Amino acid sequence: MKYDIRKIIGPRIIKTGLSTFLTALICIMLDLTPIFAVITAIVTIEPTAYASLKKAYVRFPASIIGAFIAVVSLYLFGENAFTYSLAATLTILVTYRLNLHAGVLVAAITAVAMVPSVHDAYIFNFLSRLATTTIGLATSTLINFLILPPKYAGQIEAITQTTTQQTHQLLVQRLREMMAGKYESDKSEKAYTKVQSSISNAEQLLKYQQDEYRYHKSNREEMRLMNRLERELQFKKLYFTHLGNLIYLPENISMKFSGQEKAAIEEIIRHLDGDPDELTMTNSAVRFIRRHIRDLDEEADAFKIHILYEIIIIYQMIVQHHKSSSKPQKLPPGSKTDPDAT
């Protein structure tokens, strides 16, 4: 039986291990202390090659600043608690002021770790630490660019499928809560927040994959898949926004659905639970609600009108999206769900 090692320990772990090994090996061969380089290699592995290359331009000058501040602080005050604090604080302050945000961590670690090892050879240790940090940064960037390019399509696909089911269940749950007169629901709010977090995660993965394609060519099948997933997430966000309008209602609202209104909403639920291929933009329940809204008082029944309109909008969004969606495409090789891709 064949095993994909990327499913067992994840590509990011593999790349981190390889990066630290090569970094340490290079430093040892050059007779340089590898600790600074290895630390840099560990903290600079990014989810995509694009992120590594982009942040490398920031982390390199930030490391120089951190090393310089550490040497100056040690020269002025010697090795004591104040020096550690001063080196870390000034490094963070200066890098932030210079908008080197992506390099703050590397710079601060470099500054603090240098304090106990400089001794009296200030210039030599400054250049030495700068060299080792550069080796770590360059090695991790090259490894991230060349080895195991990330494929997030599988994860995005899995998240969209899961959130589709969860969102549908939440919609049905919320409609029945409102028909029962429960207009505030901690249960629905918690479920909404959970699904929203998953959708945000899928959006981040989609951005990572799009960034990755700047440096690693993709084929037509991959691009079609990514376009479909992007459309799916755009629909899900809009759908979720309207669902949120049903969940986060004003406090202490007072209204009651009539028997006919409840029957129409239940019919819409039955349509949504049925065969999606048989869904139509209008049916008897939708037509009834549209006519019924005209008979309601715009002031006295404002909240009810809002809710009924949202139900129609969500239902027709689902129908339109299903009709316009293409058939599921086969995932590109190597794009299956990877629990440690990020």
Quick one: 84 and 119 in the same domain?
yes
Across the range 324-331, mean pLDDT stands at: 55
Quick one: 104 and 174 in the same domain?
no
Quick one: 64 and 129 in the same domain?
yes
Across the range 295-303, mean pLDDT stands at: 84
Asked if residue 192 is part of any domain, the answer here is yes
* End residue of a domain, out of 108, 126, 146: 146
Q: From CA 36, how far away is CA 34, in angstroms rounded?
A: 6
Quick one: 177 and 304 in the same domain?
yes
Whether 29 has a pLDDT exceeding 80, the answer reads yes
Residues with Cβ within 8 Å of 54's Cβ and at least 6 positions away in sequence, in order, are: 102
Quick one: 190 and 313 in the same domain?
yes
Q: Angle CA(64)–CA(66)–CA(67) in degrees, nearest 5?
A: 65
Across the range 25-44, mean pLDDT stands at: 86
Quick one: 72 and 99 in the same domain?
yes
Asked if residue 122 is part of any domain, the answer here is yes
Quick one: 140 and 158 in the same domain?
no
Across the range 152-164, mean pLDDT stands at: 87
Quick one: 242 and 100 in the same domain?
no
Asked if residue 141 is part of any domain, the answer here is yes
- Number of domains within the chain: 2
* End residue of a domain, out of 146, 167, 187: 146
Asked if residue 41 is part of any domain, the answer here is yes
Q: Which two tokens stand for residue 30?
A: 């050059």
Asked if residue 49 is part of any domain, the answer here is yes
Whether 191 has a pLDDT exceeding 90, the answer reads yes
DSSP at 40: H
Specify the amino acid at residue 8. Answer: I
Whether 326 has a pLDDT exceeding 70, the answer reads no
Asked if residue 171 is part of any domain, the answer here is yes
Confirm whether pTM is higher than 0.75: no
Whether 7 has a pLDDT exceeding 80, the answer reads no
Structural domain boundaries, residue 303: 153-324
Quick one: 166 and 289 in the same domain?
yes
Q: From CA 86, how far away is CA 73, in angstroms rounded?
A: 7
